[in-house]
Amino acid sequence: MSIEVGGQVESGFERVRDAFARNFEEQGEVGASYAFYVEGTKVVDLWGGVRTDTGGAYDDDTLQIVFSSTKGATAACAHLLAYRGLLDVDAPVITYWPEFGQAGKENIPVRWLLSHQAGLPTVDAKLTREEALAWEPVIHALEVQVPYWEPGVAHGYHALTYGHLVGEVVRRIDGRTLGTFFHDEFAEPLGLEFWIGLPEELDARVAPMISMSAGDGPSIEDMIGADSLMVRALTLNGALSGGDLAWSANQRDFRAAELPAANGVANARSLARLYAGLIGGVDGGPSEGLLSEEQIDAARVLQTSGADQVLSFPGFEVESTIALGFWSASAFAPFGGRHAFGHSGAGGSVGFADPEHHVAGGYVMSKMSMAISADPRSSALIRASYEAAGAHITHV
């Protein structure tokens, strides 16, 4: 598929434009954008392809659901409170959220919420879709929920509940919802087009997601069963079932809700700029990042690794590498350099920063792939970016 690539690259980064174009020719890319920062300066800002809803161009005005890449934004909010001395990640959750301490959860520290070790990947409560997309019903369900495994002894991907667990701690400390906190503290100061809870007037700018199976293959629910822990985690015990992830992303009620684990809407330049802004000044602004070097060091320390209790199922084991709210760089999460950190989203999106090499990147797309992480499209772009920047790359 031959497409016109829009945007710009700085001299020396032409190979990144070539890799972006090859994704359309060789990987079935439909619409996407990619951006890369070096030393706080944007050196790559590309977009291209078509939108399946309008038939028009996928251009620099296009926004995209980024699914779990939202988790990186949510983690950044928690780390900002920790940096300000308002949050102690080793304190019990009940220090900030007393009602959480039911059903044997009184000793769970905030650290385990950030690292998917709390044993709360879903809820037993049978919520309606409307309740699942509201806030309080999910919070109340989590307060009374018995953990699915002994907290702290294993980890499992909290696909949706991560955002409510971390987001409620932020709300209890600050008073603002996670979406509002992120907007005020990150999106506005950095000039990001990134929302957790999308205003209706921006809905037309969002390119629809294209399903992994494109309608001609079985869903995850069909393959491993609606009662599996993975499916229950992805659907909040069935409350958000009735369609695949792409279908959910294309519904107005899903985009409008505040789901800090799963429904951020952004473009690649905003994902890249967020991560660049965490580790340093961007585009000629103040030299310091929004977080201190010490806070960034804490954020990227590996907390747990090995078999994921949620993403693994018989015949298929996923070994994830989880830092403090982010994923740490590994073969599972190949962000480039060995000290990089970030987060991927279902279908392929990713945002990351590498403090060692002073680079950051972001990738979003409309066509979902089956890759949990290490999507070949973003991997090719990151590899080309590191080579152009003269940085040492590992894992990809």
Q: How far is CA 143 from CA 98, 139, 261, 349, in A?
A: 9, 6, 18, 31
Please, are residues 87 and 365 in contact by the beta-carbon 8 Å criterion? no
The edge-to-edge listing of strands for the beta sheet with 64-65 is: 64-65, 264-266, 194-196
pLDDT at 171: 98
Name the DSSP class of 254: H
Alpha helices, DSSP H only, in 306-375? Answer: none
Classify domain 67-270+285-324 at the CATH topology level: Beta-lactamase (3.40.710)
Q: Output the pLDDT for position 392.
A: 61
Cα–Cα distance for residue pair 140/143, rounded to 1 Å: 5
Rounded distance between C-alpha atoms, residue 350 and residue 16, angstroms: 16
In terms of Cα–Cα distance, which of 196, 193, 163 is closest to 180?
196
pLDDT surpassing 60 at residue 258: yes
pLDDT band at 349 (very low <50, low <70, confident <90, very high): very high
Residue spans in the chain of domains classed CATH 3.40.710.10: 67-270+285-324
Choice between 183 and 218, residue whose per-residue pLDDT is larger: 183
Task: Give the model confidence (pLDDT) of 101-151 as tens digits.
Answer: 999 999 999 999 999 999 999 999 999 999 999 999 999 999 999 999 999
| Contact assessment for residue 126 and residue 237, using Cβ atoms and an 8 Å cutoff | yes
- Give the alpha-carbon dihedral of 100, 158, 310, 216, to 10 degrees: 140
What mean pLDDT comes out for the span 369-375?
A: 80
CA distance 389 to 209: 31
Question: Which whole-number Å values give the CA distances from 36 to 99, 226, 321, in the listed order?
Answer: 42, 39, 23
pLDDT tens column, 53-66: 999 999 999 999 99
Q: Helix, strand, or coil here: 5?
A: strand
Looking at the chain, the number of H-run helices and the number of E-run strands are 15, 12
Place of tokens 């509940």: 161
**Looking at the predicted structure, is the pLDDT value of residue 264 above 80?**
yes
